[in-house]
Amino acid sequence: MLRAARHWHTLHGTASGRGAPSECIEAGDLATDMTFVAHPYSQGIRARSGAEL
């Protein structure tokens, strides 16, 4: 980590998950908050073979 910290300007990183501390969000260049809007599964529609929902 310390070696990588010296070269931070040449590194790219990705983090995912829920409940990130505000310090992590503020430190990042890009932050996305994905919220549930609608999904067929929530309407009782089951997955179909060969189709990705």
Task: Report the C-alpha gap between 50 and 29 in whole angstroms.
Answer: 37
Residue labelled with tokens 């529609």: 45
Each residue's pLDDT tens digit in the chain (53 positions)? 556 667 667 778 888 888 999 998 888 889 998 888 988 888 898 888 887 65
**pLDDT at residue 14, rounded to an integer:** 86
Q: Which of 53, 5, 50, 52 is nearest to 27 (CA)?
A: 5
Give the pair of three-digit tokens for residue 36.
């549930």
- Residue position matching structure tokens 């995912």: 16
pTM exceeds cut of 0.95: no
